[in-house]
Chains A and B, each alone.
Chain A
Amino acid sequence: MSPSADAAGPASSASAPPLTPSSRRSSTTSSRTPSFPSGYALPSPPALPRLRLATRRLTWLACRWDRSGPAAATAAPPIGSRSPSPSASTTSTVTHPRSKRSNGTRVWNCSSDSATAGDFVYNALSPKVAPDVVFGPEDERFQPLVDYDVAGNGDKSCLARWDCRAPEGLLALVQELRELYIEYQKKRVHMVDDARVAFELSTVLSKEGIEVCMVPSADRPDEVKFAVPLLDSDLDIAKLVPGCPWRLPQKIHLQVIFPISRSSSYSSMPSAPRLKLISTPDLKSLLSVEDVKLPPWSNGMRATILSISGIFTFLVHFAIPLQFPKQQPVLTLQSSQHCNADGTPIMSPPINDYPWSPRWDQADMVERIYDFLTDECQNFKKFCSDAITQQK
C-alpha cells in the first residue's frame, strides 16, 4: 500500500503525532447530507404540478374513423386532404385549418408561439356526433388512428366508442390525442440527423415528463424543442395553500430550443440552445418568468481532481468539450508547490493528444486517462522544477 500522504509522514517521525480531536465532532456536522439551501433564488421555484403543455394546438383531420365509429358509414376524404368533406351533413365536418367554419363550432383551441394549431370542431347541426379535430399543415404525418391500426393490438381510439352523453368524453379524446401527438413528435425528433440532439435525447428522455417536438421554420434552420417540467406532477399548489383561488393546476417548464445543425461535422461549434421559462398564467402572478435570469449555456464542463505522486501534490483540470465523447477531454496539470515569479501556480500546456477512443466504455476511458496521468505527472514534475531553476 502506498504511504499515506498525511501529515503523519515519515518526515515527522521525530516529532509528535498529529493532533486528534479529543471529542468526536458533533453528529449534526458529520452526518449532515449536503442539500441545496432553502431560500435560494430560482431556477427551482416551489414544487408545482406538471404543465400539460396545453400550449400546443392539436389539429387533426378527422377523416379516418375506426370502422365501428359513428361516422364510419359515410365516406370521408383521406388524411391530408384539405378540402371540405363532400359528404352529407350527418358526418363530422372536415374543415380547412384556417378557413371560416360556417357549420362548426370551435370548442377548444390553444395557440402557442410556434406549434401547429389544433381545433376541435363540433358540427352545430349534429352536436351529438363526435367532433372533428383539425391539425395544421406541419403535422400532415400525424395519423393517430392509423397508429392504432398499425399497433394491431386491438386498442381503439375513444372516438370508436363516442358517447355524446359522457361528460368526460371530450377530455378523454384530448388526452388521447395529446399522448399520441407526443409520441409522434418524439419519433420525428428521433429521426433528426444531429448528433447533439441525438445525444440529448438518449440521456434526457428517460426522465419522466420531458417532451420534445420539432419546430419547423421557413426562414431559419429547423429546431428541436425540449420542454422540461420543473415541478412534480403530484404537487398541486392550490391544495397546499388553504383558500388558494387558483382553480387549475399550475405548471412551469424550462423550454430548451436546439437549432439543428445541417452538417454532421464538428468543425464549427454548434450554437447554444435558447433557454426560456414558460408557466401558466396564475403562477405568473407569483413569479415573473420573464425576469428570471437563466444561467448561460456552458461551453463545456469542467472538473478538477487532486492527486499526489510521492510528495508531489498536483491538480488535474478536465475540460470536457461539448462534442464529448467524440472529442476527448482536455487535461491541464497544475502544481501545488511550484509557482511563477508572480505567484501563479505552474501549469502544463493543455493536453489533448493522449490515447483516446470514443468507443471505449466509461470505465475504460477513466482507467486509461488515469494511467496516462500517472506517467505524465512525472514529466510535469520535471517541467516544474526546470521552470523554477530557470527563474533563479
Chain B
Amino acid sequence: MATDAAPAPRYSLLPGRLPAEDILFCVDVDLEARAEMKSAAAAAASSGSTSTASPQPTQPAGAAGGAPAAGPRTAVRRMDAIKQALLLFVHSKLTMCPDHRFAFGSLGEAFSMVKKGFSSDAGSAMEAIHSLSASESRYAMADLTQLFMTANQEGTKAESQGRLLRVVLIYCRSSMKPQHQWPVKPKNFTLDIIYLHDKPSADNCPQMVYDALVDVLDHVSQYEGYILETGQGLARVLFRQMCILLSHPLQRCIQDDLDIPKQVAKKTLAIEAAQNEDGTPVSSQQ
C-alpha cells in the first residue's frame, strides 16, 4: 500500500455480548473439487527469492484425516484442503467459544445436508467433514435455492434461541454460475463465500462466476458477509481465508476495509534499523 494513501477508517469494537453462532457449511462436491492444489514445496521452488519461500513445507492432512500427505509428490486436491480448512475452522471457533454449533452439507446440483441439526461436538463435526467427497463427474447446475430455504428455516429457529445463523459456501466451479429462485425476503442469515477457481483462461469464466457470487451475497446476507477467492491453488491461502471467516458477523468491518491479517513487525525494529544505518538516534515512528 502506498504510504500516502488515505488511512483506513478506524474500527472500534463496541462492548456487548455477541450471540453464539450456528454455522452451516455448504461444500461444492463437483468434479472440480478434485482439482489439484499447488503443493507448498513446488510453490517455494518456483518462486525463487520471494517471501513465499518457507523453509518447511506445510502439507494438509490427507483426505481420510489420517497421516498428513507424505511429500510434494503426493497430489493434494481441493477437497483435501477444504476438509482441513473446515477442521481448522471448527477447532478454532470452539476454542474461541464452545457454544458455537456447526452443520454440514454438500452442493451437487442442489444442496443436501450431511446430517440434520447443529452440534458443537467436535467429533461429530469431524465425522461429517470426513464424509464429504467430491464427485467424479460434473453437475449440470449449481442451484442454491434449497440451501437458502434451509438457512432461512434454521435462521428463524436460531433467532428464537438467541443465536445467529451463518452459511459458509465453498464453491469450486470455474465456469458454472450458481443459480437460485430465492425471492426477496427478510434476511435472517449471514452468508460468506470462499471461491476456489482455476486461473482465468479462454476455456473458463471465473470472473463471471465471481460476479454472480457477489450478487448472491448481496441478495441474501443479513450482516456483512465476506467473499474471498483464490486462483493460486495454495492451501495456506485457503487456510488464511478460513481464519478470516472466524470473525463474528457483528464484529466485522465492511469488506472494503478488511485488511487482516496484518504482518507482525516489532515496533522497535524500525528505530533500531535507522540507528544501525547512520548511527544517529531517530525519534520513534508510528
Interface of A toward B, CB cutoff 8 Å: 1-5, 7, 9-12, 15-16, 18-19, 21-23, 25-26, 28-32, 34, 36-37, 39-42, 295, 302, 304, 306-313, 315, 317, 332, 334, 336-339, 341-345, 347, 367, 370-371, 373-375, 377, 384-385, 388-389, 391-392
Contact = CB atoms under 8 A, between A and B. Distances in A.
Contacts of B225: 29
A304 B234 CA distance: 24
A328 to B, nearest CB: 19
B263 A15 contact: no
A306 B267 contact: no
A1 B58 CA distance: 26
Nearest to B156: A39
Contacts of A295: 17
A274 to B, nearest CB: 18
Given A39-B159, A308-B261, A343-B126, A29 B218 contact: yes
Contact of A1 (B3, B229, B231): B3
A183 B32 CA distance: 70
Contacts of A384: 56
Given A339-B84, A344-B87, A313 B243 contact: yes
Contact of B52 (A2, A10, A337, A345): A10
Given A12-B232, A304-B92, A336-B88, A21 B214 contact: yes
B68 A11 contact: no
Contact of A41 (B50, B60, B162, B242): B162
A-B pairs with the 9 shortest C-beta distances? Answer: A385-B56, A10-B50, A2-B263, A308-B261, A343-B87, A19-B210, A336-B239, A313-B240, A337-B58
Given A11-B52, A18-B230, A40-B19, A308 B264 contact: yes
A18 B231 contact: yes
Interface of B: 1, 3, 16-17, 19, 43, 46-47, 50-52, 54-56, 58-61, 65-68, 70, 83-84, 87-88, 91-92, 95-97, 126, 159-162, 164, 188, 195, 197, 199-200, 206-207, 210-211, 214, 217-218, 221-225, 229-232, 234-237, 239-240, 242-244, 246, 249-252, 254-256, 260-268
Nearest to B197: A19
A19 B95 contact: no
Contact of B97 (A32, A302, A374): A302
A234 B60 CA distance: 58
B232 A41 contact: no
A85 to B, nearest CB: 52
B161 A41 contact: yes
Contacts of B246: 304, 306, 315
28 contacts: A4-B1, A7-B237, A9-B50, A9-B52, A10-B50, A19-B195, A21-B214, A22-B211, A29-B217, A30-B254, A30-B255, A32-B223, A34-B251, A36-B16, A304-B92, A307-B262, A308-B262, A310-B263, A311-B236, A315-B92, A315-B243, A336-B88, A336-B243, A339-B87, A344-B87, A377-B264, A392-B68, A392-B70
Nearest to A319: B95
Contacts of B126: 342-343
A374 B265 contact: yes
A15 B47 CA distance: 12
Given A10-B47, A307-B262, A308-B264, 18 more contacts: A7-B229, A11-B47, A11-B52, A11-B232, A16-B199, A16-B231, A19-B197, A21-B210, A22-B211, A29-B224, A302-B97, A308-B262, A313-B236, A337-B236, A344-B87, A375-B266, A377-B264, A392-B67
User: Which of A3, A312, A343 is most buried by chain B, counting CB atoms within 10 A of its CB?
Assistant: A343
Contact of A342 (B65, B218, B265): B65
Contacts of B251: 34
B51 A306 contact: no
A3 B264 CA distance: 11
Contacts of B43: 11
A26 B187 CA distance: 15
Contacts of A7: 229-232, 237
Contact of A15 (B67, B229, B231, B256): B231
Contacts of B159: 37, 39-40
B58 A374 contact: no
B264 to A, nearest CB: 4
A32 B254 CA distance: 9
Nearest to B67: A341
Nearest to A298: B17
A338 B84 CA distance: 10
A373 to B, nearest CB: 7
Contacts of B230: 7, 18
B264 A388 contact: no
A317 B95 contact: yes
Contacts of A31: 254
A367 B162 CA distance: 36
A41 B163 CA distance: 9
Nearest to A368: B267
A41 B160 CA distance: 6
A342 to B, nearest CB: 7
B231 A336 contact: no
Given A11-B52, A41-B162, A302 B19 contact: no
A290 B159 CA distance: 21
A116 B134 CA distance: 71
A8 to B, nearest CB: 9
